[in-house]
Amino acid sequence: MPETAGLWFEEYGEAEAPALILSSGLGGAGGYWAPNVPALAEHFRVVTYDHRGTGRSDRTPRADESVEAMARDVVALMDALGIEAAHFIGHALGGAIGIETAITTGRIEKLVVVNGWRTLSPHTRRCFAARLALLHGAGVDAFLEAQPLFLYPPDWIASHDEHLKAELAHHRAVFPGVEAMVRRIAAVQAYRPDPEGLAALSSLLVIATRDDFLVPYVTALDLAGYVPHAKVDSFAWGGHACNVTDAPLFNRYVLDYLRS
């Protein structure tokens, strides 16, 4: 079983290649990166993992659920795999984890934040409030059935309806539980990166999608403004999960950046 320190992980590519860690968003599952792993693994030792409390990782609740604790998990994973330094791609919450790891350890070389933020938008907080209301009022199935609305553009949802229906059983099986999801959303909303730490970052690519329903485009651009020499790449279309809806363009953006 590929597990260490309570974290389920998988590795792809050559062991001698530069390390690249991928960290997903609220759902926490490493499988989120399936559309991107083959292209990235041609050039990097790619490590995906399930966040603690999600997927196949340790489901034991911890008292200090926070982005800071999630960043410590990344460090523990790196130590266990003998990775001194790595590139890092994080989506939304995963981006916050990457930011915190980079600020506190200096062990992240090139950092990519996908539809992330420095300060959470009031719009995004309304979205989380609506999702929590669904979770508490209508249950897990309603929460999961509504999830694509926050991740994908309407036309993509319409053309992938059968695929999304088929995925529902899988998402139900790996759902971390109501209490764990509530704690993860609270951690997202509480995180505030250190401004001085952001200003000290030496490398950052911000990927922002103009039609992201969950995280407004300007929120991602705001993050880039706090990091000297940050690079911005944008999608005109693709929604919050642009690495899924337009994987070829996403892969090109990140490979151009990481290999530059």
Tens-digit pLDDT profile for residues 17-31? 999 999 999 999 999
Is the whole model's pTM more than 0.95, yes or no? Answer: yes
CATH topology of domain 3-258: Rossmann fold (3.40.50)
Residue-wise pLDDT for 141-199, tens only, equals 999 999 999 999 999 999 999 999 999 999 998 899 999 999 999 999 999 999 999 99
| Neighbour order of strands in the sheet with 3-4 | 3-4, 7-12, 45-49, 19-23, 86-91, 108-114, 204-209, 231-235
| Distance, CA of 117 to CA of 227 (rounded, Å) | 12
Mean pLDDT over each residue of the chain, to the nearest integer: 97
What tens digit of pLDDT does each residue of 116-143 get?
999 999 999 999 999 999 999 999 999 9
- What pLDDT, on a 0 to 100 scale, did the predictor assign at position 76? 97
Kindly state the percentage of the chain with pLDDT values over 90: 97
Q: Which of 42, 33, 88 is nearest to 204 (CA)?
A: 88
Q: CB 190: neighbour CB atoms within 10 A? A: 12
- pLDDT of 125 reads 98
pLDDT value of residue 1? 56
- Where residue 50 falls among pLDDT bands split at 50, 70, 90? very high
Residue 87: band (very low, low, confident or very high) from pLDDT cuts 50, 70, 90 = very high
pLDDT band at 10 (very low <50, low <70, confident <90, very high): very high
Q: What is the distance of C-alpha 9 from the center of its chain?
A: 15
What average pLDDT does the segment 209-224 reach? 98
- In this predicted structure, the answer to whether residue 102 has a pLDDT above a threshold of 60 is yes
pLDDT band, residue 53 (cuts 50/70/90): very high
pLDDT of residue 62: 87
Pairing mode, strands 204-209 and 45-49 = unpaired
The string of DSSP letters for 189-227 reads HH----HHHHHH-S-EEEEEETT-SSS-HHHHHHHHHTS
Q: In the predicted model, is pLDDT for residue 240 greater than 90?
A: yes
In this predicted structure, what is the pLDDT of residue 63?
A: 83
Name the pLDDT band for 42 (thresholds 50, 70, 90).
Answer: very high
Given a contact cutoff of 8 angstroms between Cβ atoms, the answer to whether 149 and 214 are in contact is no
